[in-house]
Amino acid sequence: MPKGIMLTPEQQTQRREEIVAIALRLIDENGFQKTSMREIAEMANMGKSSLYDFFKTKDEIIVYAVEQEIISAAQEIQKIASDGSSSPEQRLRKIMFRHHEHTRQNQNSLMWLNAEITHLNEEYQKRLHTVRHAYQDIVQSVIEDGITSGIFRKTDTVLTARLLINSTLSIIFTSRPSSDLETMLEETIRIFLRGIMA
């Protein structure tokens, strides 16, 4: 909390979000390496020491941002996964379309995550693994529902969930698109659910 200023927990959270938004904009414009904590503090109209009261490093800012993005997305797909009026296949399709949209909206921070996660300190890695695994568990639960109901064949549900989630990355970050993103996603889901056997 900034020195000499008493902020409520709500105000602290709001200030954190403001700092993150500024940092992400600067990083998007200038790149991660060329963005400094001093620049972030200046754009946030605060001293560098006050910024350190909220975040110690740029890594921590990005980790917090990605963490919040994944938590928000997990809450959304949990609602889909809990919809008992839809079949497991329908729920899985809805989740993949929402996952695809989430990845598109946050592709810069997700690219940073995939490139840097192994270089982060252990605490940050643990935080990110925790939210990613929680997200993956939701997808896995829908696959398990499908197996239980006989819609999907018995398979390694942990691996299946991971492959399905990561298939979206191949669509969005490809340098050789075969069609528009929505069409490629639709075909990816069809291949995933039906295979490529004639």
SS (H, E, C) 24-50: HHHHHHHCCCCCCHHHHHHHCCCCHHH
Alpha-carbon distance 132 to 70, whole Å?
Answer: 7
- At residue 50, the pLDDT reads 92
Q: 101: exposed, middle or buried (C-beta count within 10 Å: 0-12, 13-18, 19+)?
A: middle
pLDDT in tens, 6-39: 788 899 999 999 999 999 999 888 888 899 999 9
- Provide CATH code, domain 1-56: 1.10.10.60
How is domain 58-194 classified at the architecture level of CATH?
A: Orthogonal Bundle (1.10)
Nearest partner of 102 among 185, 29, 18, judged by Cα = 185
pLDDT in tens, 33-70: 899 999 999 999 999 999 999 999 999 999 999 999 99
Alpha-carbon distance 189 to 182, whole Å?
Answer: 11
Alpha-carbon distance 144 to 180, whole Å?
Answer: 31
Whether the Cβ atoms of residue 43 and residue 26 lie closer than 8 Å to each other:
yes
Share of the chain above pLDDT 90, in %: 71
- At residue 4, the pLDDT reads 55
> Can you give the residue ranges of every domain in the chain?
1-56, 58-194
Nearest partner of 131 among 75, 49, 70, 197, judged by Cα = 70
Alpha-carbon distance 135 to 12, whole Å?
Answer: 26
Taking the alpha carbons at both ends of the chain, their separation in whole angstroms is 62
Angle at 163 between CA 157 and CA 168, to 5 degrees: 135
Answering whether pTM is above 0.75, one says yes
- At residue 116, the pLDDT reads 78
Whether the Cβ atoms of residue 127 and residue 113 lie closer than 8 Å to each other:
no
Nearest partner of 191 among 178, 82, 135, judged by Cα = 178
